[in-house]
Amino acid sequence: VIRETVPPIAENPAPKKTLGILGGMGPAATADFLAKLTAQTPAKFDQEHIRSVVCCFSDIPDRTDAILARGPSPVPAMLRSLALLEQCGVANIAIPCNTAHYWFEAMQRNTIVPIIHIVDAVREALIDQGALGRPVGLLATTATIRAGVYANRLASHGIDCLCPLDDDQAMVMDAIRQIKAGANNRKLESGLHVVMQRLRRRGAGSIVLGCTELPLVYPKDAPGVLDSTAALARECIRQHIRES
Amino acid sequence: VIRETVPPIAENPAPKKTLGILGGMGPAATADFLAKLTAQTPAKFDQEHIRSVVCCFSDIPDRTDAILARGPSPVPAMLRSLALLEQCGVANIAIPCNTAHYWFEAMQRNTIVPIIHIVDAVREALIDQGALGRPVGLLATTATIRAGVYANRLASHGIDCLCPLDDDQAMVMDAIRQIKAGANNRKLESGLHVVMQRLRRRGAGSIVLGCTELPLVYPKDAPGVLDSTAALARECIRQHIRES
């Protein structure tokens, strides 16, 4: 539906690779991912940044409800987003939502575009930080934990996960819901801090913020805390620099 | 290119209206817009947020260079972004870049999708704040100022613009370039503050941050300072609430 003055594609014969972002889960986490992607890219002006298309369909059904409470599946909506990104000609896809990775294989089967797995990005960051040798503490949705999104994928690399005990996990889940509702306060941050301290006392080395809502309230660059959103952004940048 | 398990569209017969975002100018400002869109939307969970598609093609040629220095035109690349957004089925389009609005009429002629003009959004915000009756001070790119993006559109509503004198304008332009290169420090903020104070001494009432890079370093909710990114987000939310 291009009209009038649109020049022939040939005028821009080799556009740079475009990153597809399957976002909306939730939308604030998507914005945070895009901000971190930009902040971490070595660029002196706009044109050196990574091209991206963001599909921010916030009405994708809740992932946790689907896994734990037989809520409607988010898969059809996620596949529609993937199809749209594919039609936009993206070279690879990032999904800044950890819980959505429960359906990673189903999504990857349905698109020819490679999807960058967020847990692989976290694993690379853990390796770079020399954070192996001790179990990692995992703050994530109850669905991410029960579905083994991290445990299964890290175990094959010899990394053990340590998760909060039930009461603490309920507190983490409550914090995630509050952040999705727009909350951002000291009480949330200090509540999460207490949960992390207990994980450390049980033997955790690094703590992984394995839900992309959590970095929205937890301070950047807190020592020993690994932000899965930032790790995913870094892996996207690494792949784009390697391939361009 | 939809495969396997994608259900028929009928399963999701009435998706919510989708906002198209012509972004990438620059990419950090696009992320800031998406964050403000989300933060300002009254929503208790993901699914209450606005659906959006963001076309973040950061390699669109520099707008200021095109207007002031005969650099390559950004119009072909912007029209390709618009065509892509149109193909994605968006209901309206926001462009979180003030300078790009120099080509507003050319863009609107080339898409059937209504584009929300950022200066109209700023004007609405000025009216809501009761900030009329005195000229507004404008911090923007030299291109935005020389092209009259604000002056022309506000004059027809009886609002005068006051712009920094040459040395101060050079400082603003230098700040914008530094922010695009990733800078964010106190010196930038205090330099901008000095320019604002001089505009106020010359009679400016409200100060408009009329370049979407500036709110990246200037504190949110500074009194008497109107953020064009936040104003555009608010207008998008208003239109989506009205139409849904």
What average pLDDT does range A97-107 have in this prediction? 98
Cβ–Cβ under 8 Å, residues B232 and B96: yes
Q: Which helix (H) or strand (E) holds A23?
A: strand A18-23
What average pLDDT does range A105-119 have in this prediction? 98
CA-CA distance, A84 to A24, in Å (whole number)?
14
- Reported as half-sphere exposure (CB side, CA atoms, 13 A), residue A107 has a value of 27
pLDDT in tens, A138-171: 999 999 999 999 999 999 888 999 999 999 999 9
For A136-151, give one letter per residue: b (16+ CB within 10 A) or e: bbbbbbbbbbbbebbb
pLDDT in tens, B100-110: 999 999 999 99
Residues of B in contact with A56 (CB under 8 A): 34, 51-54
Count A/B contacts: CB-CB distance under 8 Å: 199
Q: Which helix (H) or strand (E) holds B195?
A: helix B186-201
Q: How many other C-beta atoms lie within 10 A of the C-beta of residue A198? A: 15
* Beta-carbon separation of B5 and A39 below 8 A: no
Whether residue A131 is predicted with pLDDT greater than 90 in this model: the reply is no
Q: How many angstroms separate the CA of residue B191 from the nearest CA in chain A?
A: 21
Task: Return phi, psi of residue A20, to 5°.
Answer: -95, 135
Residues of A in contact with B59 (CB under 8 A): 15-16, 46-47, 49, 51
Residues of B in contact with A110 (CB under 8 A): 2-6
Find, among B99, B107, B27, B23, the residue nearest to B68 by Cα. B99
Query: For strand B92-94 and strand A51-56, is the pairing parallel, antiparallel, or unpaired?
Result: unpaired
> Chain A: residue nearest B178 by CA?
A44
How far, rounded to the nearest angstrom, does the alpha carbon of residue B237 sit from its chain's CA centroid? 14
Mutation target among A1, A46, A105, A240 for the B interface, most CBs of B within 10 A: A46
CA-CA distance, B161 to B151, in Å (whole number)?
6
- Residue B187, helix vs strand vs coil: helix
Q: How many angstroms separate the CA of residue B125 from the nearest CA in chain A?
A: 22
What average pLDDT does range A115-131 have in this prediction? 95
Residue type for position A168? D
What stretches of chain B adopt beta strand conformation (E)? 18-23, 51-56, 92-94, 115-116, 136-139, 161-162, 207-209, 225-227
pLDDT in tens, B7-23: 433 344 456 899 999 99
CA-CA distance, B94 to B197, in Å (whole number)?
31
What pTM does this model have?
0.93
Whether residue B119 is predicted with pLDDT greater than 90 in this model: the reply is yes
**Which is the catalytic residue, given B55, B97, B161, B163?**
B97
The beta-carbon neighbor of B34 closest among A30, A43, A46 is A30
User: Residue A145: what pLDDT?
Assistant: 97
What average pLDDT does range B187-195 have in this prediction? 94
Residues of B in contact with A86 (CB under 8 A): 1
pLDDT in tens, B152-167: 999 988 899 999 999 9
* Beta-carbon separation of A30 and B28 below 8 A: no
Distances (CA, A) of A195 to A136, A203, A210, A222: 13, 13, 14, 15
Place of tokens 């209901």: B91
The beta-carbon neighbor of B3 closest among A61, A80, A110 is A110
Cβ–Cβ under 8 Å, residues B95 and B72: no
User: Residue B132: what pLDDT?
Assistant: 83
Whether residue A6 is predicted with pLDDT greater than 50 in this model: the reply is no
Percent of chain B residues topping a pLDDT of 70? 93
Contacts of B49 (CB under 8 A, 6+ apart): A24, A26, A27, A58, A59, B38, B41, B43
* Beta-carbon separation of B57 and A18 below 8 A: yes
Whether residue A16 is predicted with pLDDT greater than 90 in this model: the reply is no
Give me the helix-helix angle, B27-40 and B228-243, nearest 10°: 50
User: Residue A14: what pLDDT?
Assistant: 55
Whether residue A224 is predicted with pLDDT greater than 50 in this model: the reply is yes
Confidence of residue B4 (pLDDT cuts 50, 70, 90): very low
User: Residue B130: what pLDDT?
Assistant: 87
* Beta-carbon separation of B76 and A45 below 8 A: no
B56 carries an active-site annotation: no
CA-CA distance, A149 to B193, in Å (whole number)?
48
What average pLDDT does range B124-134 have in this prediction? 90
Cβ–Cβ under 8 Å, residues A160 and A135: yes
Distances (CA, A) of B229 to A38, A123, A129, A238: 17, 36, 36, 30
What average pLDDT does range A5-23 have in this prediction? 66
Residues of B in contact with A80 (CB under 8 A): 2, 6, 12
With left for phi above 0 and alpha for psi between -120 and 50, is residue A2 left, alpha or beta? beta
Residues of B in contact with A182 (CB under 8 A): 39, 43
Q: How many angstroms separate the CA of residue B186 from the nearest CA in chain A?
A: 18
ipTM over 0.95: no
User: Residue A237: what pLDDT?
Assistant: 97
User: Residue A5: what pLDDT?
Assistant: 43
* Beta-carbon separation of B79 and A2 below 8 A: yes
> Chain B: residue nearest A216 by CA?
B35
What average pLDDT does range A179-187 have in this prediction? 91
* DSSP code for B6: P
**Which is the catalytic residue, given B55, B163, B211, B236?**
B211
Q: Which residue has the higher pLDDT, A15 or B101?
A: B101
Lowest mean pLDDT among A6-15, A116-125, A138-147: A6-15
The beta-carbon neighbor of B4 closest among A16, A32, A110 is A110
Mutation target among B50, B56, B173 for the A interface, most CBs of A within 10 A: B56
CA-CA distance, A49 to B85, in Å (whole number)?
20
The beta-carbon neighbor of B59 closest among A39, A47, A87 is A47
Q: Which residue has the higher pLDDT, A133 or B123?
A: B123
Confidence of residue A15 (pLDDT cuts 50, 70, 90): low
User: Residue A13: what pLDDT?
Assistant: 45
- What is the residue-averaged pLDDT of chain A? 92
> Chain B: residue nearest A61 by CA?
B47
Find, among B182, B181, B197, B191, the residue nearest to B218 by Cα. B191
Whether residue B35 is predicted with pLDDT greater than 50 in this model: the reply is yes
> Chain A: residue nearest B39 by CA?
A182
pLDDT in tens, B43-68: 999 999 999 999 999 999 999 999 99
* Beta-carbon separation of A51 and B45 below 8 A: no
Residues of B in contact with A88 (CB under 8 A): 84, 88
pLDDT in tens, A79-94: 999 999 999 999 999 9
**Which two tokens mark A90?**
């993206």
Q: How many angstroms separate the CA of residue B173 from the nearest CA in chain A?
A: 13
Residues of B in contact with A34 (CB under 8 A): 27, 30-31, 34, 54, 56
Whether residue B5 is predicted with pLDDT greater than 60 in this model: the reply is no
